[in-house]
Amino acid sequence: MNKSIESLYEAILESDKVLIFTGAGISTLSGIPDFRGVKGVYRQKWHGLEVEEILSLPCFLQHPEYFYEWAQTFVYGLENYQPNIVHKTIAAWEKADLIYRTYTQNIDILHQHAGSRRLYELHGSPAHHYCLSCRKYYSYNDIAPIVQSGNCPRCECGSIIKPQIVFYGEQLDQDLLEQAFSDFDAADLAIVLGSSLTVNPAALLPQYTLHGGGKLAIINSQATTLDKYATWKFDDLQKTFEQLAALSAEYPTAAE
């Protein structure tokens, strides 16, 4: 039996170490297409290829133009999207010291725009780019106009420029992953938001909280493999966070 939203907020207030884990589902509230829903990005094809292949390292190295064409709107049109109530509430909780850290699978930079600072991007960020040959650095603002104009960016040395995101076939940052496993193992409460928990190893993180004796809350429109272990499970992110935000405004926080 699921607990109430009020009891989840009470647990946030009472816990010493609360971690947030976010996936693509939270960004759909900002208008960004999701990945694994009924109309998700992964259900579409591009140049006759599955999106997972477009996002694989071998495909990128052979056809970087495929990725940049696909990413023109989703990755390089981020100025068209704004943080939503979930991003803003997480940032407010961080400022009030109600949560310890946020780990995200997302690459849309919306957490930063909302004000989150103790944020760790498990799959990297398009805020940073590097030439694969000479290692010259390029910012998002350097690359986005080129991609938006329909061109594939190239370094002045002529080589491929790659965003600092983790493609299929690449390993996650191992130091960051070890930190995350340690954090989740020590957490009193882990809150999963908008993730189907299908992409490992990041999706394993909430299990560490359970193994460490902590509690788990899941707010996601689709079922996950950990639903039966969650103390709280809600399906509607928007409605749940409207109530959580109202509770945050109504009751004193740890910082007050």
Q: How far apart are CA 226 and CA 124, in angstroms?
A: 25
Annotated active-site residue in 87, 111, 113, 123: 123
Contact 32, 198 (CB under 8 A): no
Q: How far apart are CA 121 and CA 109, in angstroms?
A: 9
Q: How far apart are CA 43 and CA 40, in angstroms?
A: 6
Instruction: Quote the Cα angle for 202-65-51, to 5°.
Output: 40
Instruction: Quote the Cα angle for 143-116-86, to 5°.
Output: 100
- Give the relative orientation of helices 237-250 and 5-14 as an angle to the nearest 10 degrees: 50
Length of the chain: 256
Identify the CA nearest to 183 among candidates 154, 140, 212. Answer: 212
* 10: three-class secondary structure by DSSP: helix
Q: How far apart are CA 23 and CA 33, in angstroms?
A: 12
- Our answer to whether residue 123 is catalytic in this structure is yes
Q: How far apart are CA 118 and CA 183, in angstroms?
A: 13
Q: Which residues are catalytic?
A: 123
